Amino acid sequence: MRCPWGLSTADYVTYHDEEWGRPVHGDDALFERVSLEAFQSGLSWITILRRRETFRAAFAHFKIAEVAAYTDADRERLLADPGIIRNRAKIDATLANARVLADWSPGELDELIWSHAPDATGRPAPRTVSDVPAITDESTALSKALKKRGLRFVGPTTAYALMQACGLVDDHLWNCVARTPA
């Protein structure tokens, strides 16, 4: 058994089984996830997933220091790149977020994000997809904390998707093969 969304395409099966809901640590790795979740806003995740390698190439594998140093010429290159989502606001947010994060101490993004992980013991495993929330008190708090520190495109829904993708919450259904045993 798998979560129903994880069965629709081979790309989703791999992502569902091997990555979604698994703990992600490291500032660059989390910057990638924050950025990709922002690009996904308003789109299907499969659109982002299928372009992920192109995103990685376009954004220096999401190395914060490198993206923070991008110039106006890099911005124009990104806006013209058909392999990524050429949304000006999302590209600008990604570049701005990298510049903000470049001033943080190493490990600070990781620490901030993981400090918002809810207590897993008080949260029952979802039985159906409709049991999975779009936002939670923790995602709202994470969103506020990220925005307060200067990050953009990190609303509560995006923050919750980030929490799911990076393993802060385990929203695999109760009978899913990928669910972490209690």
Cα 120 off chain centre by? 20
Backbone angles phi, psi at 81, to 5 degrees: -80, 110
Identified catalytic residue from 5, 19, 45, 114: 45
Sign of the four-CA dihedral 125, 18, 163, 159: negative
- Is 37 among the catalytic positions? yes
Q: Is 70 an active-site residue?
A: no
Q: Name the catalytic one among 12, 15, 70, 160.
A: 15
Q: What is the 3-state secondary structure (H, E, C) of 34-68?
A: HHHHHHHCCCCHHHHHHCHHHHHHHCHHHCHHHHH
As separate numbers, helices (DSSP H) first and strands (DSSP E) second, the chain gives 10, 0
Clarify whether 174 is annotated catalytic. Answer: no
Question: How many whole angstroms separate alpha carbon 176 and alpha carbon 125?
Answer: 10
- CA angle, 39 then 6 then 163, to 5°: 50
Catalytic residue, from 12, 20, 32, 37: name it.
37
Enzyme catalytic residues: 15, 37, 45
